[in-house]
Structure 1
Amino acid sequence: MGWGRTTDEHDASDQLTAFVEAGGTLVDTAYAYADGASETILGRLLGTVVPREDVVLATKAGVGVRRGQRFFETSRRTMLDGLDASLRRLGVDHVDLFQAHVWSDAVPLEETLAALDHAVSSGRAAYVGISNYTGWQTAQAATWQRAVPGRTPLASTQMEYSLLNRGIEHEVLPAARALGLGVLPWSPLGRGVLTGKYRTGTPSSSRGADPQLAGFVDPLLTERSSTIVQALSRAADGLGWSLVEVALAWVRDRPGVVAPIVGARTTKQLEESLAVEERSLPSEITAALDDVSAP
């Protein structure tokens, strides 16, 4: 998400190299990330820094800027025009996963889903998914795709999920499990708060200090968050792990989760996240974190 804004192409190249060398595959982007700069940088790196076939490439449409104003719209035209523009920026003829970035009350659901179907039937996408859909929206969309012959089943849903935000456990996770959707949690580190970096203030290099992103972080800088971060810190100290490893391991091992999506600003941050693959949380630590973070 920060590629093209807080992460330049050189650092992005280092991140992508480290990620693939560690065995990583899924790279998720969107037009909305740095107004297309994220996709442009990724496109320049594919085939030069890492082979295209080594990456499961995912992007999204439905959020962007039009005439200087942010829009949230998933009409057939917007979705397919957005996909075509993404393909040009990425320098590829298809993506592996194409997702509706948001739900839109202004557009009939069947129109949005028809655009996803066309993306597959036209060869521009191999699989399709949704993002930021509530439980009933997830169930409705997935059921529609299953019920109508010839439709492309939804493969995934991308939702915010962390120790600080467990709301999807009520309806989204059960719907995803029942209907066969893999869950890709975004902001598994609680928008950076679970790293512990905000315990004594706001670091100047953090997203919380960025005027354009402070509003994204501020809602999670609460007394409840502080309590959860303290518990996370105690668990990390006891295990000899970092806070990042504990927080990511907790999300990764939740039922229905395929893989947390991390948005590291630096290669060092990414490598700390990748280290979690060697970790497995003891059940008693998981239970304690469940208790302190219960919604």
Structure 2
Amino acid sequence: MEQRHLGRTGLRVSRIGLGTLTWGRDTDEHDAADQLKAFWEAGGTLVDTADVYGGGDAEFLLGQLVERLVPRRELVIATKAGSVPDPDRRFDGSRGHLLAALDDSLARLGTDYVDLWQIHAFDPRTPLDETLQALDIAVSSGRARYAGVSNFCGWQLAKAATWQLAAPGARARLASTQMEYSLLQRGVEREVLPAALDLGVGLLPSSPLGRGVLTGKYRHGTPSDSRGASELLGPFVEPYLDETADSVVEAVLTAADGLATTALQVALAWVRDRPGVVAPIVGARNARQLAAALSVEALTLPDEICQALDDVSAPVHRYPDQDWSTL
């Protein structure tokens, strides 16, 4: 699998990442092991997790499998901290919470360091410089090799990345930002992606298949074994089951028919090769589903297909996003 640099850093990662959101909850040890082995054998290196996935079970399971199945040095393990199960405070970006969470993650993962440590979300109750100091401490102490953020809007990302670049050497530059991005969710193109490109921050798209909708599986209803049918993830999928999504899905299926491939491959190839994208993070229920996603490595979409998909899925960006100098 092709490797790409993560932002403006020397870290190289596979251009498809393996997500572990359901590990330890809906994905058991056997299926997780099959996925990790298939991913590694296909040349995949980037494995993304978080301290809250499965209440910590995803990290623990990943640590157990790495010890048995895959050499630690051949994986780029990324995790996140900052989310909390407290309904009164969904995110905690305080230095104390973040560094304690990192130590707990390392213990569950059974490793001395993570390759990429990410702040899970912006915390408006904590000064941003305090949150970013936690990244500096993690990197300078060797507990994290690189640092990133997740779910930061445009101004938050620009402020954080600029702050980290203000004192070269003293602060850990942001290598990445993880955001939802797909043919059904192109909101990052408004401000996040331009900021990331300008500041040398690599984009790691989550939900690159539109929460599964872009595979076409929901065209004629909700399959009983799908995320959309589950009590936990049903509300996550439901917003994309509308007429707007239907037109995009039909365009993806038409492209797939013309290329003699699948809707999954078309949707994944589109986002993988967007400017600024480093590696879409793909979550799978089992190794068979993952193999279908990994087969996209052989596909590059023709320019005319990309343009057609761009047109049918184009978000409405008006003032102040238009280039008024050209009007």
State TM-score, norm by structure 2. 0.88
Partners of 1:25 and 1:260 in 2: CA distance:
12
Structure 1 residues 195-223: Cα deviation after superposition (integer angstroms, max 9, x where no partner): 11111111111111111111111111111
Write the letter of the residue equivalent to 1:171: E
Which runs of structure 1 show a deviation greater than 3 angstroms over 4 or more consecutive aligned residues? none
Partners of 1:137 and 1:22 in 2: CA distance:
36
Matched, 1:136 2:155: yes
Among candidates 313, 319, 324, match of residue 293 of structure 1: 313
Residue 263 (structure 1) aligns with? 283
Gaps of 5+ in 2: 1-20, 316-327
Among candidates 298, 310, 313, match of residue 278 of structure 1: 298
Q: How does 1:12-23 map to 2 (within 5 A)?
A: 12-23=32-43
Partners of 2:88 and 2:50 in 1: CA distance:
17
Among candidates 148, 154, 172, match of residue 192 of structure 2: 172
Q: How does 1:74-153 map to 2 (within 5 A)?
A: 74-149=93-168, 150-153=170-173
**1:70 Cα deviation from its structure 2 partner:** 7.2
Structure 1 residues 148-200: Cα deviation after superposition (integer angstroms, max 9, x where no partner): 24111100000000000001011111100100011100000001111111111
Partners of 2:175 and 2:157 in 1: CA distance:
11
Write the letter of the residue equivalent to 1:253: D
**1:123 Cα deviation from its structure 2 partner:** 1.0
Among candidates 229, 233, 247, match of residue 267 of structure 2: 247
Residue identity over aligned pairs, in percent, reads: 63
Question: 1:214 and 1:278, CA in 2 relative to 1: closer, same or farther beyond 3 A?
Answer: same
Partners of 2:225 and 2:93 in 1: CA distance:
34
State the secondary structure of the residue aligned to 2:282.
Answer: coil
Residue 320 (structure 2) aligns with? none
Among candidates 198, 203, 206, match of residue 226 of structure 2: 206
Partners of 1:164 and 1:63 in 2: CA distance:
25
Residue 13 (structure 2) aligns with? none
**1:284 Cα deviation from its structure 2 partner:** 0.4
Among candidates 232, 235, 238, match of residue 218 of structure 1: 238
The answer to whether the 8 Å contact 1:143/1:179 transfers is yes
Of residues 144-153 and 179-188 in structure 1, the stretch that sits farther from structure 2 once superposed is 144-153
**1:16 Cα deviation from its structure 2 partner:** 0.3
State the secondary structure of the residue aligned to 2:145.
Answer: strand
Matched, 1:62 2:62: no
State TM-score, norm by structure 1. 0.98
Residue 17 (structure 2) aligns with? none
Partners of 1:242 and 1:3 in 2: CA distance:
26
Residue 321 (structure 2) aligns with? none
Partners of 1:33 and 1:142 in 2: CA distance:
26
**1:69 Cα deviation from its structure 2 partner:** 7.3
Residue 8 (structure 1) aligns with? 28
**1:271 Cα deviation from its structure 2 partner:** 0.4
Residue 181 (structure 2) aligns with? 161
Write the letter of the residue equivalent to 2:97: T
Write the letter of the residue equivalent to 1:58: A
Question: 1:90 and 1:159, CA in 2 relative to 1: closer, same or farther beyond 3 A?
Answer: same
Write the letter of the residue equivalent to 2:148: G
The answer to whether the 8 Å contact 1:35/1:65 transfers is no
Partners of 2:229 and 2:89 in 1: CA distance:
22
Which structure has the higher relative contact order (CA within 8 Å, separation 6+)?
2
Residue 47 (structure 2) aligns with? 27
